[in-house]
Amino acid sequence: MATEQTFNYASRTYSTIRQDLLTRANKVAPEWTDRDPSDFGMLFVDLWSYMGDILHYYVDRAGRESFISTATQRESLVAYANMFGYIPSGRASSIATVYIANSSSASSYSIPAGTKFSAVSDNKTYYFYNIDDATVGPSVSAAVTLFEGTQVVDEILSTSASGAPNQSYILGYSDADMKTTSVYVTEDGVKTLWLRYSSVQEIPKNARGFVVSLAASGDVRVTFGNRTNG
């Protein structure tokens, strides 16, 4: 009884695929014996082997992207992290704490949010700003936390949000600092600051909350609740 020829799955390179094809050809077409490179059949064998080699390369690449230890693309790793519920921290601005002293003994001094500070290092100027209002009382000093970068305000994500669950938007700046992202929603003409949560599951029911996450493409995504959470 004839036995089925087993297929060698380890034949994945041009030369081994070519050899397998010629071995197979010897069995199914024994009358074809010409192995000159000028033979039209040999040209076909070469082209098929080349195509097989290239396809195996892409199969390997796709397979490697499925494992953390072998993935090479940021997009693969972020998607893999999202699958396990891990939220990558994303890009973060440098943080500085400055102490501001008020020499006046009579009045307080206010520092509004968004006030620009600068620092020079190695002849290069870096700009910082505060994201919260600060007040320094009379004759005291207060610590103010500053974030490096450029403040982006009033970026409009949507002007016609329907209120549907699970809405998400990509921020226009892909290098935005996720930790300092704030979202305001205008409802019936009233502008309200929504709260940031680390995941949609943590948003209480009917709370006005949103989640900032890193999309697989590297962009920063803002996601709203699903009506069960948020």
Partner 1 sequence: MTSIKTPFTFVGGKVAATKDVATVINQKIENVLNTQKLERILNPSYGSTVASLINEIPDELMLVDAKIDALMDLEDGIKNATILDMWFDASSITSSDPTLNVYITYRLPLGVVQRSNIKIAVPGLITEDTIV
One-letter amino acid identity for 56? H
Choose the stretch contacting partner 1; rule: CB under 8 A; options: 39-47, 120-128, 199-207, 222-230: 39-47
**In whole angstroms, how close is the CB of 53 to partner 1 at the nearest point?**
9
Long-range (24+ apart) CB contacts under 8 A made by 106-112 are: 106/138, 107/138, 108/135, 108/136, 108/137, 108/138, 109/135, 109/136, 110/134, 110/135, 110/136, 111/135, 111/136, 111/144
- Please identify which residue in 32, 57, 126, 184 interacts with partner 1, judged by CB under 8 A: 32
**In whole angstroms, how close is the CB of 56 to partner 1 at the nearest point?**
15
- Please identify which residue in 4, 5, 37, 156 interacts with partner 1, judged by CB under 8 A: 37
- Please identify which residue in 27, 28, 31, 118 interacts with partner 1, judged by CB under 8 A: 31
Count of C-beta atoms within a 10 Å radius of residue 147: 19
Tell me: does residue 27 bind partner 1 (CB under 8 A).
no
- Please identify which residue in 5, 7, 36, 156 interacts with partner 1, judged by CB under 8 A: 36
**In whole angstroms, how close is the CB of 54 to partner 1 at the nearest point?**
10
Query: Rule CB under 8 A: which of 7-26 touch partner 1?
Result: 14
Residue among 29 and 207 whose Cβ is closer to partner 1: 29
- Please identify which residue in 33, 135, 150, 192 interacts with partner 1, judged by CB under 8 A: 33
Residue among 13 and 180 whose Cβ is closer to partner 1: 13
**In whole angstroms, how close is the CB of 30 to partner 1 at the nearest point?**
10
Q: What is the binding site for partner 1 (CB under 8 A)? A: 14, 29, 31-41, 43-44, 46-47, 50
